[in-house]
Amino acid sequence: MLSSNIEKALNKQIKIEAESSQIYLAMASWAELKGMEGVAEFMYAQTDEERMHMLKIFKFVNERGGHAIVSELDAPSTDFGSTKEMFETLLKHEEFVSQSINELVAITLEEKDYATHNFLQWYVAEQIEEEATARTILDKINLIGDDRSGFYHFDKDIKAMINFNPQAPIV
């Protein structure tokens, strides 16, 4: 059984994951309209992945006797400036998510809730991977600079970094 404190903190994380999904969907739309097919595809995969992150916590809360809440979400931006700025925003957002997961892990230790602590380890590992992917992409963008043909190849190559598997089970 979840304590009300942990239930509240997990519901807060559900909202963060749902907002992450919205942010990446907005990024997908922006990239698609700019003709960056590969970047848009990457963002469409990201939005699905974040929804999966949200659902995983959602189901865990209900399974553990809590009540998973669907709350109102903040609307994301519609304009992300440039591709580089968009990936900088993405990295900053993932760093914020990592911080939030870390705080959640700290609460589970304070409350000696080892089941939730164990459940959250998947998110700790996932955040390391997501931050690393964002940094790798930013390194590539910085290397390309203003080279248009380099950018054309980047848009093609980024598809290889999509690791979302739509066939994978949700939980």
Residues interacting with ligand OFO, by CB under 6 A?
A: 17, 20, 50, 53, 94, 97, 123, 126-127, 130
Please state, in angstroms and as integers, the Cα–Cα distance from residue 66 to each residue in 4, 72, 73, 163, 167, following that order.
8, 19, 21, 31, 28
Q: Report, in Å, the least distance between residue 15 CB and ligand OFO.
A: 12
Q: Report, in Å, the least distance between residue 93 CB and ligand OFO.
A: 8
Q: Report, in Å, the least distance between residue 94 CB and ligand OFO.
A: 5
Rounded Cα distance between 163 and 46, Å, is 9
Torsion from C-alpha of 168, 8, 100, 125, nearest 10 degrees? -30
Q: Report, in Å, the least distance between residue 50 CB and ligand OFO.
A: 5
Q: Which is nearer to ligand OFO, 22 or 150 (CB)?
A: 22
For 48, counting Cβ atoms within 10 Å of its Cβ (0-12 exposed, 13-18 middle, 19+ buried), the class is: middle
Q: Which is nearer to ligand OFO, 35 or 169 (CB)?
A: 169
Q: Which is nearer to ligand OFO, 96 or 152 (CB)?
A: 96
Rounded Cα distance between 24 and 39, Å, is 11
Q: Which is nearer to ligand OFO, 36 or 120 (CB)?
A: 120
